[in-house]
Amino acid sequence: MIDRITIDKIIEAARIEEVVGEFVALKKKGVNFVGLCPFHEDKTPSFYVSPPKNICKCFACGEGGNAVHFIMKHEQLSYHEALKYLAKKYNIEVEERELTEEQKMAYNERESLFIINEHARTYFVNMLHQHQEGKTVGLSYFKERGFREDIIKKFQLGYSLEQKDAFTQDALKNGFKKEFLVKTGLTIEGDNYIVDRFRGRVIFPVHTLSGKVVAFGGRILKKAENTGKYVNSPESEIYHKSDQLYGIYFAKQAITKADCCYLVEGYTDVISMHQAGIENVVSSSGTSLTIGQIKLIHRFTNNITVIYDGDAAGIKAALRGIDLLLAEGLNIKVVLLPDGEDPDSFAKKQNAESFTTYIKKNETDFIRFKTQLLLEDAGDDPIKRASLITDIVNSISLIPDSIIRTVYIRDCSTLLGIDERVLVNEIRKKRLTALEKESQNRPQTVAPMENIPTPATASGSTSLFQPIKQEKSPLDKYELAILYYLIRFGNLPIIYVEPPKEDEKKKPGQEEDEPVDETTVLEYIKFDLERDGLTFHNSLYKQILEEAFEKIDDSGFVPKDYFMAHPQLEISKLTAEIISDRYELSKVHLKQFGENVCREDTPLDERKHLDVSVPRVLTELKDAFISIQIKNIKDEMKQKQKEKNTDAVIELMHKLKELDEIKRMLAKVLGERVILRY
């Protein structure tokens, strides 16, 4: 784990314009930069980079944050990996906490396996391009398949010599331990022998999201009895095939940009489509889809198009795995290629535009495709048709979105010629059964009821702000408005004092002005909330509030810097969103004050209005809180009236009267105050 000091160093060193500029062409616009957003199809520049705030923001799709967030999204890295990426870029030594001996051993073993795989990848590539056998057999095969030299190098394709232990002996000579060669699966060890797993095969390295080689696939080129065409690395400490997709490292950015992923079956399908200019494609490597693989796709997009060749038996086998995609809430389309074609052969005859046009023209939703396919198989056989209906019902029942389920039910009712109500009832039964099974398997725990604590007020009497028992609070927007001022201006005095101009500075012996109250925004928020026994309901907002209160006596505490570098990703992302300007300066302001002007030098400077705006948002929270209390009491009164409990009704009326009086006072305050919010 990276320590906080190092995280601060990385975030401080990483200049947002430099980091984004490596991936996006930026143009200067005032104090900011602007370019085409890399996260969606952007035709007019909507991606703004703010060097003063050290953040970026797309005003079309909403993506943005600091340099760490940008690298996480663009390169699809974890928070820890993104920090290390930036540390390397800015030559910052990453200091991580001390590991236990067991952790060190486990870490060292994993790293050793990755290092061996990197060596193997380099070895296989060299054999393909430099060894006579590799050039004659392996490179010739790839070129016969129509792969260009740049594509062969891009996917780091290689070749393993036919000599039974050529790679193993090379690795041992280079100091690699046999133990780790066996654990990666590169070497097979018997009682009295060791052999290379991939001998006599062309090699397809499998990469993780961050580009590390995690496994290999090998295709044999000569006919051999009792030998499979493809051999893959076995499961290991670093490789779990159910969590990997071939080509994901090369496809991740394209998938995000296109907001769609094409799913094919084999290695060469992926490579040929890349060569045709279609990069948002991955392969399940000939195995059935797994939950891990689906979640990997879901990280980049909700939309997936499955491309099939004309093999009906293969399609029916694949249908079973695709139900998992429905259960994960993905939008699934299916494309059937012309007879005799597979993605590999078809891509070789197309360019990106023609291939994409074919997909758009011929894709159909998965449920309709499955229904039509099974209908052809069932024919007029009533038993087969009944089985078909059950199969379709099972698939539709997996879809989590009720609106999408309803649309599919109507389509299938028409296609199958069966009453829509019958399908609805069957799907309801399936979902109820699944929910019951899930609840039986789920550990029985009692979650604490979310409420807002109500400590005594400063005077010692019980607060009228009683707990609100609800899961999702309508107070969230008011709490967020308070956080806006806490994070942006928390360490500033709530009463803004204009810095004196040069000619207004005090002369020696001149009388001092009256001292100005230097209460900070954070101190004011803490006092005002605690005075009325209030805290936040939203757990994330509450965590930020409480951490800020803990730092209140720290003279070096700057909320926006502290929370921007927060190790909890949700907090740092929210902070980036809060400190990004809600509105750009208008052309009028730019003309009036100059293109390089900051908001702080204009009437838009919110620091000048903190004494009005901060009390305002706090009052709005209280007003909303009281409104909810009033509604709850009115609902309770109706219930007590039905029960004819007169005493309880009278008691509630007294409470309601008190709350109405507070509501009137708050309304008067809100009515009198005018907030200048731009």
Same domain, 223 and 276: no
Q: What whole-number distance in Å separates Cα of residue 308 and Cα of residue 297?
A: 18
Contact status, residue 185 vs residue 234, Cβ threshold 8 Å: yes
If one counts the domains in the chain, the total is: 4
Predicted confidence at residue 467, as pLDDT, reads: 41
Q: What is the mean pLDDT of residues 531-537?
A: 86
In a domain, 504, yes or no: no
Q: What is the mean pLDDT of the chain?
A: 80
In a domain, 96, yes or no: no
Better-scored residue on pLDDT, 276 or 416 = 276
Q: What is the mean pLDDT of residues 71-97?
A: 83
- DSSP states of 70-131: HHHHHHT--HHHHHHHHHHHTT----BPPPPHHHHHHHHHHHHHHHHHHHHHHHHHHHHHHS
Same domain, 229 and 265: no
Convert the pLDDT of each residue in 135-146 to its tens digit: 999 999 999 999
Tokens 């400190």 label which residue?
A: 579
Convert the pLDDT of each residue in 192-237 to its tens digit: 889 999 999 999 999 987 788 999 999 998 876 667 788 999 999 8
Predicted confidence (pLDDT) at residue 525 exceeds the cutoff of 60: yes
Predicted confidence at residue 156, as pLDDT, reads: 96
Predicted confidence at residue 532, as pLDDT, reads: 83
Residue 125 binned pLDDT confidence (cut-offs 50, 70, 90)? very high
Least confident of 12-26, 28-42, 373-387: 373-387
Same domain, 228 and 113: yes
Convert the pLDDT of each residue in 560-618 to its tens digit: 888 888 878 888 888 888 887 644 444 444 444 454 444 454 445 778 888 888 988 89
CATH of the domain at 270: 3.40.1360.10
Say how far residue 451 (Cα) sits from the centre of its chain: 29
Predicted confidence at residue 270, as pLDDT, reads: 95
Residue 501 binned pLDDT confidence (cut-offs 50, 70, 90)? low
Predicted confidence at residue 453, as pLDDT, reads: 32
Domain boundary among 239, 274, 302: 239
In a domain, 457, yes or no: no
pLDDT > 70 in the chain, percent = 82
The answer to whether the Cα torsion of 22, 27, 29, 34 is positive or negative is negative
Predicted confidence (pLDDT) at residue 296 exceeds the cutoff of 70: yes
Same domain, 493 and 524: yes
For residue 632, give its domain range. Answer: 476-499+515-672
Same domain, 206 and 298: no
Same domain, 33 and 107: no
CATH of the domain at 202: 3.90.980.10
Measuring CA to CA, which residue among 299, 410, 401, 286 is closest to residue 342?
A: 286
Three-class SS of 145-180: CCCCHHHHHHCCCEEECCCCCHHHHHHHHCCCCHHH
Contact status, residue 32 vs residue 51, Cβ threshold 8 Å: yes
Tokens 């490597």 label which residue?
A: 285
Predicted confidence (pLDDT) at residue 506 exceeds the cutoff of 80: no
In a domain, 198, yes or no: yes
Same domain, 53 and 15: yes
Least confident of 176-190, 307-321, 447-461: 447-461
pLDDT > 90 in the chain, percent = 24
Same domain, 494 and 554: yes
- pTM exceeds cut of 0.75: no
Domain boundary among 239, 270, 285: 239
Better-scored residue on pLDDT, 99 or 204 = 204
Same domain, 286 and 430: yes
Predicted confidence (pLDDT) at residue 339 exceeds the cutoff of 70: yes
Predicted confidence (pLDDT) at residue 637 exceeds the cutoff of 80: yes
Q: What is the mean pLDDT of residues 551-564?
A: 85
Convert the pLDDT of each residue in 415-465 to its tens digit: 888 888 888 888 888 888 877 776 565 444 333 323 333 333 333 333 444
Domain boundary among 239, 261, 286: 239
Contact status, residue 329 vs residue 399, Cβ threshold 8 Å: yes
Same domain, 265 and 157: no
In a domain, 564, yes or no: yes
Same domain, 607 and 578: yes
Predicted confidence at residue 160, as pLDDT, reads: 96
Same domain, 261 and 355: yes
